[in-house]
Structure 1
Amino acid sequence: MTGAGASTGQLAGETDVAAGEATDLFTKFDSTIAMRTNLLASGVDDPFSLVMEQVLSPTRAICNGRETILLGTYNYMGMTFDPDVIAAGTQALADFGSGTTGSRVLNGTYQGHKECEDALREFYDMEHAMVFSTGYQANLGIISTVAGKGDYVVLDIDSHASIWDGCAMGNAEIVPFKHNDIEAMEKRLKRIPEGAGKLVVLEGVYSMLGDIAPLKEMVKVAKDNGAMVLVDEAHSMGFIGEHGRGVVEDAGVLDDVDFIIGTFSKSVGTVGGFCVSNHPKFEILRLVCRPYVFTASLPPSVVATAATSIRKLMTATEKRAHLWKNSGRLHGGLKSLGFELGTDEPQSAIVAVLMPDLERGAAMWSALLQEGLYVNLARPPATPANMTLLRCSLCAEHSDEEVGEILDMFERAGKAVGII
């Protein structure tokens, strides 16, 4: 959903250590250390420590001393420099100070937090909204709280790391199924013991390849088998669906799901996470959800920017249309140049460009950066099927001219590296 985009439960410990062998606790990271060392030795720029020295707009920044087009920031609706959003944050900073220094259940609920939750309820037309300090915490908190020991969580194998971590924290039985496979999901559900608590966790848009879930069919199967449904809409909130409510809206299942998780760090343009729901007992989660209870609340300036952005996204029809135009043009242009893409057709604001291996992927990333273009380099284990890919995240503020520049940069870099 939401955060840096990792899509597996395992993060780094690729090296196994024999039982009883004396070892440093960092030994398990040796393969990752070797991977990074080998990449840097090949002469490429470090793809994992880029510094933006100055951010000029939602689509441009100064990186390594040169102006660079941003195509890997998740800033889908370009709200980070919206004048109304900035003004709201500035005013809240002046009126309420820099932070709350407390949990939401103690001194950490300011007027702005309530206004932000009001904006979410209005945006989704739902009864309840709960704001977390990050999108990661929203998944971690809701999943671990509603699905505990003895319950079952049925989830897509390509689920985001925060989803896997929420399952682990709650100590529920984890039942994964093949990516976007409706039949496999149904088989898993039917094997769960009668009377057990069941939660199906899906994502509207999967962050690595940018593909969408067949939510209409999957939600029906889940409900037919007595499961509650949680959908993470981190990468679709704001621009998919008539009102920007995500794939759940586009698929017509908004009223059938039990929980929608989202983040402020994508289309909303700030930081934070949330859950909205119509469940009549939802409000009790504020007292029993550990990542909500035991975390300091978001600063007043952050919730003010989020609330303002959310309300503007309600009427951002033209922005949504332009973003879809950008997505279609980039996808079609890269495909015609000969790049292998993660989806046959554009399905979201994410266009994944598949690379033959990590070495050439890093070389391509570095070549693009030298051209003046920033994209995300994604590698295993965060990617599905051990893929290496360049993940492009389009923005509603990318101009037609910028998309043309991006395609030219990909062509030059791709030929220089030998990808096309």
Structure 2
Amino acid sequence: MVDLFTKFDPLINEREALLATGVRDPYAIVMDKVLSPTEAMINGKRTILLGTYNYMGMTFDPDVIAAGKAALDKFGSGTTGSRVLNGTYSGHKDCEDALKEYYGVDHAIVFSTGYQANLGMISALAGKGDYIILDADSHASIYDGCAMGKAEVVRFRHNSVEDLDKRLGRLPAEAGKLVVLEGVYSMLGDVAPLPEMVAVAKKHGAMILCDEAHGMGFFGPNGRGVYEEMGCEKDIDFVVGTFSKSVGTVGGFCVSNHPKFEVMRLVSRPYIFTASLPPSVVATAATSIRKLMHAGEKRAHLWKNSKRLHQGLRDMGYKLGTESAQSAIIAVILTDMAQAVSLWQGLLEAGLYVNTARPPATPAGMFLLRCSLCAEHTDEQVGEILGMFERAGRATGVIP
């Protein structure tokens, strides 16, 4: 018998060797109690959260929580069915209405996760004989959507307008083409040059899908994402997003003005063959989305936090993923996994939780700690975070 786990032996050995040095497993943290959008109890210690994607701090909003409790009492704990059978309640339609209001579009479809939104849209839109053109650093859900479909896949260099143009130019003019972009790339926190890329895609007759998972909530006058911030709203065909970040719950969606968009409910397998979100979840999402329409002050505070932390870490001597604060994500680049985990553990012991990331989630050979700021982080907390990074960085030798 061939042991199907044999292919994972190098990863298992690497992990065991790392844990043998006495460090904790960075991928096995348990939140004993969550106190607020910015604090939790971990191992009995009050800990500042800097790795949760809770960008707008909506998880403890009183109106959001009240909406979820009311729906739980009225509709029960789950739907036990897919959206095309018994799994569409009034709350699901209300959530899609909230998305249409928020994005100013004609159509919205809610999936059970953000991962499934990309999986469902990409695999259904581009079929045999079509082409999907995507950034080499695209999220795993985008790659998996490509793998599930039957289109030819073409990658271009990360954020390279020139390479996108060149690769589109090599494709048959008569073929269907879908260019997939992300407003904010989740590992380094850098943003895409959307106006230039949109212009190139349109020149070659391609449709465009933009993933705004990490841009929704705080980019643009209405918080719709990078594509709104950069004035590309009229040219993007499909916008995909998630509820698990700025919205503060779970779920995914796609919005569009395409007149034939509703057919996606009949052709997207992850939509058809997945149980729909519980009523309490869509109720929290709809309430949060409507409140995010009027969150200008929170957006401004989040940007202040991001710029202050980015500059402070640079001044200490840390190598960061971007030259300036481009989003709420700040990536601290380390030399290897051992150094990354050493700094991560030093921060955790000091009372700060961040994410560790390594290949294949990151580009080849890159190891980093990823910080995700929240609009609810106070000025005092940002000061504490900087102090922890300075002390832990010196203790581990990451900074002078």
Counterpart Cα distance in 1 of 2:40 and 2:234: 40
**In the alignment, which residue of structure 1 is the partner of 2:314?**
335
How do residues 79-94 of structure 1 correspond to structure 2 at under 5 angstroms? 79-94=58-73
Aligned length: 399
How do residues 189-338 of structure 1 correspond to structure 2 at under 5 angstroms? 189-338=168-317
Determine if the alignment matches structure 1 residue 348 to structure 2 residue 354.
no
Kindly state the Cα deviation for residue 357 of structure 1 after the two structures are TM-superposed: 0.8
Kindly state the Cα deviation for residue 31 of structure 1 after the two structures are TM-superposed: 1.4
Give the one of 152, 155, 158 matched to 2:134.
155
Residue pair 2:92, 2:282 contacting (<8 A) in 1 also? yes
- Structure 1: which 4+ aligned runs deviate by more than 4 Å? none
**In the alignment, which residue of structure 2 is the partner of 1:17?**
none
Counterpart Cα distance in 1 of 2:114 and 2:304: 27
Q: Deviations over 1:45-83 (max 9, x none)?
A: 110000000000000000011010000000000000000
**In the alignment, which residue of structure 2 is the partner of 1:130?**
109
Q: Deviations over 1:323-342 (max 9, x none)?
A: 00000000000000110000
Counterpart Cα distance in 2 of 1:197 and 1:344: 37
Counterpart Cα distance in 2 of 1:64 and 1:415: 24
Counterpart Cα distance in 2 of 1:30 and 1:411: 36
1:97 is matched by which residue type in structure 2? G
Determine if the alignment matches structure 1 residue 66 to structure 2 residue 41.
no
Kindly state the Cα deviation for residue 193 of structure 1 after the two structures are TM-superposed: 1.3
Give the one of 368, 374, 378 matched to 2:347.
368
1:295 is matched by which residue type in structure 2? T
3-state DSSP of counterpart to 2:166? helix
What percentage of residue pairs aligned between the two structures are identical?
A: 72
Kindly state the Cα deviation for residue 349 of structure 1 after the two structures are TM-superposed: 0.2
Kindly state the Cα deviation for residue 278 of structure 1 after the two structures are TM-superposed: 0.4
1:175 is matched by which residue type in structure 2? V
- The TM-score with structure 2 as length reference comes to 0.99
Give the one of 24, 45, 51 matched to 1:45.
24
**In the alignment, which residue of structure 2 is the partner of 1:165?**
144
3-state DSSP of counterpart to 2:73? helix
Determine if the alignment matches structure 1 residue 77 to structure 2 residue 48.
no
Counterpart Cα distance in 1 of 2:293 and 2:242: 16
Q: Deviations over 1:209-230 (max 9, x none)?
A: 0000000110111011000000
Kindly state the Cα deviation for residue 35 of structure 1 after the two structures are TM-superposed: 1.7
**In the alignment, which residue of structure 2 is the partner of 1:180?**
159
Counterpart Cα distance in 2 of 1:93 and 1:384: 42
Give the one of 141, 153, 168 matched to 2:120.
141
Counterpart Cα distance in 2 of 1:57 and 1:35: 35
**In the alignment, which residue of structure 1 is the partner of 2:336?**
357
Counterpart Cα distance in 2 of 1:386 and 1:91: 48
Determine if the alignment matches structure 1 residue 109 to structure 2 residue 84.
no
3-state DSSP of counterpart to 1:386? coil
**In the alignment, which residue of structure 2 is the partner of 1:383?**
362
Q: Deviations over 1:238-278 (max 9, x none)?
A: 00111100000011001111100000000000000000000
Question: Which sits farther off after the overlay, 30-39 or 114-123?
Answer: 30-39
Question: Which sits farther off after the overlay, 174-183 or 190-199?
Answer: 190-199
Kindly state the Cα deviation for residue 194 of structure 1 after the two structures are TM-superposed: 2.4
Counterpart Cα distance in 1 of 2:172 and 2:14: 43
Give the one of 67, 75, 85 matched to 1:96.
75
Counterpart Cα distance in 1 of 2:231 and 2:173: 29
- The TM-score with structure 1 as length reference comes to 0.94
Counterpart Cα distance in 2 of 1:307 and 1:176: 35
Kindly state the Cα deviation for residue 171 of structure 1 after the two structures are TM-superposed: 1.8
**In the alignment, which residue of structure 2 is the partner of 1:121?**
100
3-state DSSP of counterpart to 1:384? coil
Q: Deviations over 1:198-219 (max 9, x none)?
A: 0000000000000000001101
Counterpart Cα distance in 1 of 2:389 and 2:373: 15
Residue pair 2:173, 2:204 contacting (<8 A) in 1 also? no
1:53 is matched by which residue type in structure 2? D
1:365 is matched by which residue type in structure 2? W
Q: Deviations over 1:316-374 (max 9, x none)?
A: 00000000000000000000011000000000000000011110101110110000000
Counterpart Cα distance in 2 of 1:339 and 1:23: 46
Counterpart Cα distance in 2 of 1:85 and 1:375: 26
**In the alignment, which residue of structure 2 is the partner of 1:27?**
6
Q: Deviations over 1:121-179 (max 9, x none)?
A: 00000000000000000000000000111110000000000000000100211100000
